[in-house]
A = this chain, B = another copy of it.
Amino acid sequence: MTNPTALSESSPKLKVRIHKPLNVEASFLNPHSPITAAEHFFVRNHFPIPEIDAASWRLEIGGAVNNPISLSLEDLKAMPATTHQCVLECAGNGRLFLPNVPEGVQWGLGAAGCAAWTGVPLRDVLARAGLKPDATELVFEGADHGIPEKQLKPKNEISYARSVPLEVTLKPEVLVAWQMNGEDLSPEHGSPVRLIVPGWYSVASVKWLTKITAITRPFLGYFQTVEYTYWAHRGGLQPERIPITEIFLKSQIAHPVLHQQIRAGEACRVYGAAWTAGVPLAGVEVSTDKGVTWHHAEFDSPAEDHAWRLWHWDWKPVDIGNHSLMSRASDIEGRTQPAQHNEDYESYLIDHTISIPVEVV
């Protein structure tokens, strides 16, 4: 197993939230690029990092397929590869900002990152196995395994596993990836191979991918019935407990940081990142008066792939004292971030406008 302290102590930008299994938060933004370096990228693990020998690693594809296959890393690398930038955000990112901070890993703003992922489109891999016409969903399993924490848990060890509907998995940007920012994945980030599902919370981007099973019904494993679920209202029925899927429209302030002191009368660049599941961003606004008035920020990076976009707004604070900063993203379909957390989401899907308290001195 990889030594967690090697990673956690390597940079002041990282904060270890849990040592066993390793869960590390990042700082969260590189102000010079939308790309987060691998060593500054958050780590969310449910079980110990598995030891995998890349030379003997195999990806098994079975279930509702015509031709079950087993691929080596060489087999994958022999296929035409592509690179796609995308945000990965933990479904619990921002949990520390909820009222009455709930249980779960205590993420601040740093359980999100943006990287360029290189691998084979999943649909090309699936084509080799040949999906049967009644397949509706794919179950992705990692090599990581253990007994999960919650009360409603299975009695024996399970692997980390999530499913994604077939129509999503066939999008060209869904990758079986072995590189992050041009370098082979590290053990923390899923080496030798992980799934990348752009536009979905990172719960779907299964690390240490070893098995794909095509099924003909919804998968109801632990990580989509007990954990990573929320109460959704559908079709006039009572709330239903459904798995977390697509990421929500969001922006975060990277600077100033929480409780930072800022000099009155001097320019302060407020900057951060904003992202969506796929609908293009329309803009980002900043408020210094608890959301009464909003100022338009400027984008500093283009809309590219599923990457987040950097933005800034220059503030010249005058009044000495405590202030709070908020950012709010909108998309071209008219969505905007809500002012309050939706209680039906419990400790997930934290997409409301978060207040960053600062002190003008």
A residues neighboring B (CB under 8 Å) = 63, 139, 141, 151-152, 154-156, 158-159, 161, 213, 215, 218-222, 225-226, 229, 231, 235-242, 343-344
Contact = CB atoms under 8 A, between A and B. Distances in A.
B235 A222 contact: no
B238 A159 contact: yes
A204 to B, nearest CB: 16
Give 3 closest A-B pairs by Cβ, nearest first.
A220-B240, A225-B241, A154-B239
Contact of A220 (B154, B156, B242): B242
A218 B218 contact: yes
A241 B226 contact: yes
Contacts of A151: 151
Nearest to A243: B220
Nearest to A343: B155
A68 B138 CA distance: 36
Nearest to A64: B235
Contacts of A241: 152, 220-222, 225-226
A161 B218 contact: no
A139 B215 CA distance: 24
25 contacts: A63-B236, A141-B238, A152-B226, A154-B231, A154-B238, A154-B239, A154-B344, A155-B231, A155-B343, A155-B344, A156-B239, A158-B238, A159-B238, A161-B237, A161-B238, A213-B236, A213-B237, A218-B218, A219-B237, A220-B240, A221-B239, A221-B240, A222-B241, A225-B225, A225-B240
Contacts of A219: 237, 240
Given A155-B231, A222-B239, 18 more contacts: A63-B236, A139-B237, A151-B151, A154-B238, A155-B343, A161-B238, A213-B235, A213-B237, A218-B218, A219-B240, A221-B237, A221-B240, A222-B238, A222-B241, A225-B229, A225-B240, A225-B241, A226-B241
A343 to B, nearest CB: 5
Contact of A63 (B152, B235, B238, B343): B235
A215 B235 contact: yes
A210 B158 CA distance: 41
